[in-house]
A and B are shown apart, each in its own frame.
Chain A
Amino acid sequence: MQKVGIVGYGCYVPIYRIKPEEIARVWGEDGERIKKSLNIEQKAVPDLDEDSATMAVEAAKNALVMAQIDSQNIDAIYVGSESHPYAVKPTASIVAEAIKATADLTAADLEFACKAGTAAIQISMGLVLADMAQYALAIGSDTAQGKPSDALEYSAGAGAAAFIIGKNNLVAEIEATYSFTTDTPDFWRRQHAEFPSHGGRFTGEPAYFKHILSATGGLFEKYGYRADDFDYFVFHQPNGKFPLEAAAKLGLEPKKVLPSLVTPKIGNTYSAASLIGLCAVLDKAKAGEKILLTSFGSGAGSDSFAITVTDKIEQARQRVKKNFEFYNKREVFIDYATYAKLKRKIKTL
């Protein structure tokens, strides 16, 4: 079979950060306890003029800098998000125009809670392998929403990650993918509802862990991999704790998961969460190393990928100044009042 994989990748995280202690101060909660129980030090907050489309564009530009391809050769763009700026009018066409990929291409928005970005990668792989697209651009981007004072408010972050999928000049080959999907009502948002609802503790065992472990185990079984084959594991990270617990259940050493753990620094970026984790790992991985990526989207499903880094990565990532570390280091802390303004949580605004 022909090879398919990542030709270029890029991420984006807004500059503002808020700490759980500051959110807890407003709601009379124990910030230290929440910080520890979620393993979140801080989360990223978008500026007033940022949304899932603007972040997707910035991540895509970084991916293009790495790939060094003509954006006119991108034949498909898929943007996964649960915070598309419009209910009707695609984010993908805005991205296409902003990176000058129009008009000779197909584009669509995807939605599957936090795993729409990895669904975009799978669709892109299919189109590229079928020779229906020379390059396809897959993006996960979210300005995550959490109801004021809800547990989600401590973790819901903002960010985007973009992957250019193709056949040649791969920085990482995607060897295999496997998905596990069931109807599990762990988290949802009805049409016109501003904030999501969730099943509290129900989001753990029957939702996150069952799907992450089933997709990962399914990939191993179907393609004959073992946990030992992989140098890094990247899991969806709704908080800083779940990925480490998933690793423990799989008998993995924490050091194989920690390089991908970005949620403690930027919060849960929903559709971008596992993908920014993958970017952070690709920023350090060496040629020949293997990465296991498993996303999770509520409702519920997981997409698992076996990825091998190629010898092209070293040079490719030198071209990108705005990598994960660049955005991670760039932080301006804000208080809850500023946060409420930026997120337009004050209703008269």
Chain B
Amino acid sequence: MTNIAITWRRIPERYCIIGSICKTCSTKYFPLRKFCPKCRRKGKMERYQFSPRGTIYSYTKVYAPPAGFELEAPYILAIVKLDEGPMLSAQIVNTQNVEIGDRVEMVFRVIKRDEPEGLIHYGYKFEKITD
């Protein structure tokens, strides 16, 4: 079973793509950070709402998925470069074909269900957009 406290703590990141910004050097981080590696003790970290849009930086098609994702295979796992710069990895839904450079937008989906009686974990995935 997944650690409930970790799942709960990650809700802002996973539901809304909320990360951090260092008010000293303006660097944006995802996921959340408590500490700016550039400014060290001079850094002032605050929460930052990232745009739900980005670009596919790289991707792979997963045919041999980890436990809990068997039914979804084959699926596309991509590194998405958010419009503000940071990168995250996420599943791409509603298509089996993507190219590097494709524009994508966040959608809210089930990430994993702890079967048969555990928690349902929700969070971001992405889908292609045309504009």
The 8 A CB mask of B66-94 against A (1 = contact, 0 = none) is 00000110000000000000000001011
Chain A min CB distance to B59 (Å): 18
Given contacts A53-B122, A85-B120, A98-B16, whether A58 and B71 have CB atoms under 8 Å apart is no
A131 at the interface (CB under 8 A from B): no
A341 at the interface (CB under 8 A from B): yes
* Bound Cα distance A26, B104 (Å): 37
The 8 A CB mask of B86-112 against A (1 = contact, 0 = none) is 000001011000000000000111110
* Bound Cα distance A54, B110 (Å): 7
* Bound Cα distance A85, B91 (Å): 21
Contacting pair B15 A49 (CB below 8 A): no
* Bound Cα distance A264, B67 (Å): 38
Residue from B11, B15, B91, B108 with most neighbouring chain A CB atoms (10 Å): B108
The 8 A CB mask of A51-95 against B (1 = contact, 0 = none) is 101100110010000000000000000000000011000000010
For A53, list chain B residues within 8 Å (CB).
120, 122
Chain A min CB distance to B39 (Å): 27
For B111, list chain A residues within 8 Å (CB).
49
In the complex, how many residues of chain A place their beta carbon closer than 8 angstroms to a beta carbon of chain B?
A: 22
A50 at the interface (CB under 8 A from B): yes
Contacting pair B122 A47 (CB below 8 A): no
* Bound Cα distance A58, B110 (Å): 13
Which of B11, B49, B91 meets A97, CB within 8 Å?
Answer: B11
Contacting pair B11 A49 (CB below 8 A): no
A25 at the interface (CB under 8 A from B): no
For B72, list chain A residues within 8 Å (CB).
48-49
Residue from A15, A57, A98 with most neighbouring chain B CB atoms (10 Å): A98
Chain A min CB distance to B117 (Å): 10
Contacting pair A94 B122 (CB below 8 A): yes
Contacting pair A49 B94 (CB below 8 A): no
Contacting pair B16 A49 (CB below 8 A): no
For A341, list chain B residues within 8 Å (CB).
71
B28 at the interface (CB under 8 A from A): no
* Bound Cα distance A349, B69 (Å): 12
Chain B min CB distance to A98 (Å): 4
Chain B min CB distance to A289 (Å): 30
For A332, list chain B residues within 8 Å (CB).
94
For B94, list chain A residues within 8 Å (CB).
15, 47, 330, 332
Given contacts A48-B71, A49-B93, A58-B107, whether A100 and B120 have CB atoms under 8 Å apart is no
Given contacts A53-B122, A85-B120, A94-B122, whether A349 and B108 have CB atoms under 8 Å apart is no
For B91, list chain A residues within 8 Å (CB).
49
* Bound Cα distance A117, B107 (Å): 22
For B109, list chain A residues within 8 Å (CB).
47, 49-50, 54
Chain B min CB distance to A344 (Å): 8
The 8 A CB mask of A312-349 against B (1 = contact, 0 = none) is 00000000010000000010100000000100000001
* Bound Cα distance A87, B91 (Å): 28
Which of B49, B110, B131 meets A49, CB within 8 Å?
Answer: B110
* Bound Cα distance A56, B107 (Å): 12
Contacting pair A50 B110 (CB below 8 A): yes
For A54, list chain B residues within 8 Å (CB).
107-110, 122
For A349, list chain B residues within 8 Å (CB).
71
Chain A min CB distance to B18 (Å): 8
* Bound Cα distance A94, B123 (Å): 10
> What residue in chain B is nearest A100 (Cβ atoms)?
B16
Given contacts A53-B122, A86-B120, whether A97 and B15 have CB atoms under 8 Å apart is yes
For A15, list chain B residues within 8 Å (CB).
94
Chain A min CB distance to B68 (Å): 11
Chain B interface (Cβ < 8 Å from any Cβ of A): 11, 15-16, 49, 71-72, 91, 93-94, 107-111, 120, 122, 125, 131
Q: Which 8 A-B pairs have the closest CB atoms?
A: A57-B108, A49-B109, A49-B110, A98-B15, A15-B94, A54-B108, A54-B109, A97-B15
Chain A interface (Cβ < 8 Å from any Cβ of B): 15, 47-51, 53-54, 57-58, 61, 85-86, 94, 97-98, 100, 321, 330, 332, 341, 349
Q: List 22 A-B contacts (CB under 8 A).
A: A47-B93, A47-B109, A48-B72, A48-B110, A49-B72, A49-B109, A49-B111, A50-B109, A50-B110, A53-B122, A54-B122, A57-B108, A58-B108, A86-B120, A97-B16, A98-B15, A98-B16, A98-B122, A100-B49, A330-B94, A332-B94, A349-B71
